[in-house]
Amino acid sequence: MESKIAKAIKLPHEPVAILWSDKKTDGASMFKENTWGCTLWLMAGAAKGKVAACDRKTFGCHGGGTGVGFGDQYVNFPGGTECFCRFLSSGNAGNEQGEAVAEGMKGFAPPEFVEEFLQGERYLKTPEDVRAFISDMPLKDIPNDYVVYKPLSMVDTDQEKPVSIVFFSDPDQFSAIGVLANYSFTGNDNVIFPFAAGCQAIGLYSYKEAESDNPKAIAGPMDLSARLFLRKQFGENIMSMAIPWKMFLEMEGNVEGSFLQRHTWGELLKTKK
């Protein structure tokens, strides 16, 4: 499928279709079992034309496994959920259990991870705040074995139905997608920007919206770690927008006759460096 939106905003990368599948996609890029990786790398690869996938043994990190829809993987984080809650906030240093886990990781875990495990990423203030963050997350255990990331142009819509479509774009293109997400939809809040890991905003939150009668697009990434990873793939000023499939199809049908064919958007394109 070719995207009218991508063409109109002159997106340099492919929109990425997220699909659930019970079959391993031949030739798909996947992480090795039990090795660390960021699922956003897989999505970035799909945006550059390469099919990628993950399953319940190859999702790269516990937050990623949670984010793509393989249930609550924080229980499998080193030291379990309690150590994760300290890791994301104030750190495990000074906690007997946490320090024992950190000591056991030395020698095979990267030193920078052990340091962050002890000192904390500090993305939330307290472990209690992290527990509330997890409780508020739309956790999901999908009914399939694989999450597949496929360039939209490689999707056969007669055979496949994506859960959502993800655009990686610069701020101008991001704004255009956001305007289009409000173009024919009720209300002024048809784009949400949740505090979540990059993979969770693209995954879990788009899954939740896909089940809604009035789905919303999900902006991102607010996640600073995700921004660092994506910068290595796309350069500076990259944003993401995940759009549930039903909403995406309506937006595709709205391109013709919209602001994307008018003066202001044309001038923005002309004046881009």
% of the chain residues with pLDDT over 70: 100
Confidence of residue 154 (pLDDT cuts 50, 70, 90): very high
Query: pLDDT tens digits for 232-242?
Result: 999 999 999 99
Spatial neighbors of 19 by CB under 8 A, at least 6 apart, are: 147, 148, 150, 155, 160, 161, 162, 163
- Average pLDDT (133-151) is 97
Q: What is the pLDDT of residue 34?
A: 81
Q: What is the pLDDT of residue 217?
A: 98
User: How far, in Å, are 30, 101, 127, 271 from residue 38 at the CA level?
Assistant: 11, 22, 23, 34
Q: What is the pLDDT of residue 190?
A: 98
In the chain, domain spans: 4-61+144-265, 72-136
Confidence of residue 41 (pLDDT cuts 50, 70, 90): very high
Distance spanning both ends of the chain, measured CA to CA? 29
Residue 24 pLDDT > 90, yes or no? Answer: no
Tokens coding 190: 């048809």
User: How far, in Å, are 87, 129, 138 from residue 82 at the CA level?
Assistant: 9, 12, 19
- What average pLDDT does the chain have? 96
Q: What is the pLDDT of residue 247?
A: 98
> At 26, which amino acid appears?
D
